[in-house]
Structure 1
C-alpha cells in the first residue's frame, strides 16, 4: 500500500513541477482507480491551499434569458428546440437579483443567457452592466457568459463594467467540436478561438471550459483540453460532466455514453489535474456536478475548485433554463440557497469569501509578468 501511495505521489510531484506536463501521467489520472483518485484530489486540494487560500468565492448567477440563436447539438435551449418555453427576465427582476446578491455580501454576480448578438441584446446588456455598477456602488464584481460577440461588443461591455468573461470551448479538438456543433459560419471553431483571444486582448479575466464524457470523446481529447487551457494561459475555468438532454441531436447516442458516475469521477479528476498544472487560476464547481451527486459541488471544492455559483435567478424562470436533464435547484428561490450552501461549504474545510470579488490570481500574475 505504502509503495503504491509513494508512486502516485511521485507522479503528481512530477506533474506539478514539470515545465511541460507529461501527457502519459495526465491520461492515467483522468480515469483512475479509487486509491489514485483519492490521492489526486487530496494533492490538488493542497496545491489550492498553498497557492490561493481557504476561501470559496460566490458568484450570484442570473440566467436572464433562454432565447438563443445557436443550434449546438448538446444544449436543451438550442434554437431548434421547439419544446422550450422561452423567456426574458425583466430588467427590474435582474437588478433585484443583483441587489439580493449584494445584500447577502456575495462578492460577484454572473449574467448568463442564450447566445445572441442583435443590437437590442447588446444595448440591453450594456445598460444592465452600467446599472449594476450604479446600484451596488461599484462594490460587486461582474462576470458575463454571453457567447461569441465581435471585438467592439466585448470592448463595450468591458468598459461598462464587466471584467470577467466565460466562453467555453466545449472541446479543443476541432473534429470533435464539429460533432457537437453544426459545421457552419454561425458555429465556427475558428471564431470561437478568436473570441477567446479578443477577450484576453481587451483585458478581461478570460475563462473557458469543456464538457467531460461527450459522445465520441476520448481520454486523449481530455488531455489535450487541459493542455489547451494551459497553453492559452487561461485565468478561470468552468467545466462539468456532459449530461444528455432528450430534446437534442446528441441524445440518440446516449447508449454509447460512459455511465454518469464515471463522467462525474472524471470531471473531479479533470478539476484536480488542472489545479495541479495551473495552480493559481479560478476553477468553478459546476452545478451539473450536483445533478449527478447530491454532494457533487462540495466534492469538487475538495478536489481543487474554489468558485461556486448560487443561482439567484427568480424561481419562476429556473425550470426553463435547462441545458441538460435533472438540473438541480430549479424549484427553489435564491434565499433558499444561502444558509444551506454556507453550511455545506464549511463541511469541506473552506469558508465563504463574503464581500470579496475573488479575482483570478493568475490573471494578476500574468499581467505583471
Structure 2
C-alpha cells in the first residue's frame, strides 16, 4: 500500500488498518505525525484531566487476565469510605480538573448500586454541580444505568477488551457471568440511556493478531463510541493468562503497537476523546506524554487514596502515581505544557463526537 495515499484517507478498510498497525521505523513516524496533525486540527491542543478514584477492588468477575479477579486470593480487598472518595473528588474540583472517574471492580448488588447513586449526588453537591463524572463500574442493568445517569453521571467506560468473540473467550471464562453478548448489550444500554459511551481493548494479548486489532478499531467505529481507553496488555503472575506469557511480544513492542492503535484510531474517528492510559507508563516512564503526541487528549491523574493504590493491582509493574498533591500535579501539568499542549482547566472536555451526534436531526 502507498502510505502517503493511505494517510490522506478518512475511511479505512480492515486490511488498511492492519497495515497501519504493522508500521515500523520511518513509516511509523509518519503515521504518528499525521495523527498528531489530525488531532490538533479536529479536537485541538487541549488536554483534559479526569481525576481517577479506584474506590474498590472487590469484583464478582473472574477475567483471566486481571489481577483483582474474584479467584485471586492473594489480593487484599478494600472499599474506600465515602469520605475518602469525596475528599479525592474535592481535590479534583479545587484544582480545576473538570471531571472525575469513579472506577471499581464489577458488582451489581442493590447495596452497591445505591452507594454509587448516593456518591454521585454528593459529588455534584460538593462541587456545585461543576465536576463532570465518568463511571467505570462494569455491566449493569438498563435500570441501573438510568438511575446513575439521572443522579449525575454522564460518561461511562466499559471496555470490551477484545471485540473478536473467539479471542474474548480466550481471556474470559465461558460462563453466563462473562458473556460477550451481554457485554455488547451493556454498551447499547449505555447509548440508549444517553451517556457518552467509552470502550477499549488490551493491545498485545496472547493469541491476538493485527487483524484482531484492526477489527477492534472497526468495532469502535460501528458502535459509534464517544471515547476510548486502551493500553498495552501487561501480564500478572496470579492470573491464568500468565501461563501464556511466552507467546507475548516484548513490552516495548506492545508499547509501540499501542501508540500505533491510538494513532490509527485518531485517523478513523478524529473527533472522539482518547485517553493516554496509565498502563503505558508501566513500560515507559514518559508513556502518557508519548500517547498525547500521537493522538490522545485525555489524562487521568490517579487520585485514589494512597493506602489503597497498591491493592488496585490489575497488572504487573502498575505505576503507583502520586498525583493527589499540589506539587505532583503541578509537575504533571508542566510536563504536559513542555511538550506543547494546554490544560483544559475546569472544563468537562466533552467528546466533540458526542456533541455532533447529539445535534444530528
Same fold, TM exceeding 0.5?
Answer: yes
Match of 1:161 in 2: 152
Matched, 1:26 2:17: yes
Matched, 1:58 2:49: yes
Cα distance per residue 1:285-336 (max 9 Å; x no partner): 0000011101100000000000000001111110000100101125665445
Distance 1:274 1:133, change over 3 A: same
Match of 1:12 in 2: 7
User: Which stretch of the first structure deviates more once superposed, 193-202 or 30-39?
Assistant: 30-39
Structure 1 unaligned residues grouped into runs of 5+? none
CA distance in 2, matches of 1:335, 1:61: 15
The alpha carbon displacement at 1:9 in A equals 2.4
CA distance in 1, matches of 2:324, 2:332: 13
Match of 1:93 in 2: 84
SS at match of 2:275: strand
Match of 1:189 in 2: 180
| Aligned positions of 1:237-256 closer than 5 A | 237-256=228-247
Retained in 1: the 8 A contact 2:303–2:323? no
CA distance in 1, matches of 2:28, 2:331: 27
CA distance in 2, matches of 1:49, 1:254: 37
Retained in 1: the 8 A contact 2:91–2:324? no
CA distance in 2, matches of 1:84, 1:95: 25
The alpha carbon displacement at 1:24 in A equals 2.2
| Aligned positions of 1:109-188 closer than 5 A | 109-188=100-179
Question: Which of the numbers 201, 225, 243 marks the counterpart of 1:234?
Answer: 225
CA distance in 1, matches of 2:184, 2:214: 18
Matched, 1:219 2:210: yes
Match of 1:342 in 2: 333
CA distance in 1, matches of 2:158, 2:42: 25
CA distance in 1, matches of 2:193, 2:45: 30
The alpha carbon displacement at 1:51 in A equals 0.7
SS at match of 1:217: coil
Matched, 1:37 2:28: yes
- Moved >6 Å (runs of 4+): none
User: TM-score of the superposition, structure 1-length normalised?
Assistant: 0.96
Match of 2:271 in 1: 280
Question: Which of the numbers 346, 350, 360 marks the counterpart of 2:351?
Answer: 360
Match of 1:70 in 2: 61
Question: Which of the numbers 292, 317, 323 marks the counterpart of 2:314?
Answer: 323
CA distance in 1, matches of 2:63, 2:333: 35
The two structures, once aligned, show a CA RMSD in angstroms of 1.2
Matched, 1:103 2:94: yes
CA distance in 2, matches of 1:246, 1:126: 35
CA distance in 2, matches of 1:156, 1:61: 22
Cα distance per residue 1:30-50 (max 9 Å; x no partner): 121211111111100110111
SS at match of 2:206: coil
Retained in 2: the 8 A contact 1:68–1:79? yes
Distance 1:44 1:331, change over 3 A: closer
CA distance in 1, matches of 2:286, 2:82: 33
Structure 2 unaligned residues grouped into runs of 5+? none
The alpha carbon displacement at 1:185 in A equals 0.7
The alpha carbon displacement at 1:239 in A equals 0.4
Retained in 1: the 8 A contact 2:323–2:329? no
The alpha carbon displacement at 1:11 in A equals 1.5
Retained in 2: the 8 A contact 1:212–1:240? yes
